[in-house]
Amino acid sequence: MTDINQAVKNLARARQTRDKYERELTEVNEAIQERYGAMLERARDLLYAAEADVANAETDVKKLAVAAYEATGNKKSHPAVPVAIYTILDYNMLEALEYCQERLPGAVKWSKPVLDKRAFEKAARILMPKFVTVTEEPCARIARDLSEFIEE
């Protein structure tokens, strides 16, 4: 084992080297910022604007696809934007837990006890307890690759 004096010298050298490279990195960052900072800021602004445009366009496409489905019943009004129907269950969690404790113990995590939401909802779709309201919501899904729809 090295003695304490040597260990302190090693630490001092290591810190000196680290400080040297910290200064070097700071200098390089400042040079990059000075030379390319405005370009970087502009590129960032353009990307943020493009992301906002994409989000708005996706919202419009989804709304139009759902509206077309609701008007015609056709889930595939466009090949890149199919509409799926999701079943939504609405219920009071405490009421569901009480129901499951009495009638569906497999949907209760007994260690706490808490409702196993996935198990309950799977069973509720079949059993249809009176306190559960079922609604169906159309939801449009946009394909990832839309390159074939770009006109050149």
pLDDT digits (tens, 9 = 90+) for 90-139: 999 999 999 999 999 999 998 888 999 999 999 999 999 999 999 999 99
pLDDT above 80: residue 38: yes
Closest among 84, 69, 101, 95 to 136, alpha carbons compared? 84
Tokens at 6, concatenated: 């040597």
pLDDT tens column, 40-62: 999 999 999 999 999 999 999 99
Contact 95, 133 (CB under 8 A): no
Q: Please provide residue 109's backbone torsions phi and psi, each rounded to the nearest 5 degrees.
A: -90, 100
**What's the whole-number mean pLDDT along residues 21-43?**
95
pLDDT at 82: 97
pLDDT at 1: 61
Tokens at 128, concatenated: 């249809």
**What's the whole-number mean pLDDT along residues 10-36?**
96
pLDDT tens column, 63-89: 999 999 999 999 999 999 999 999 999
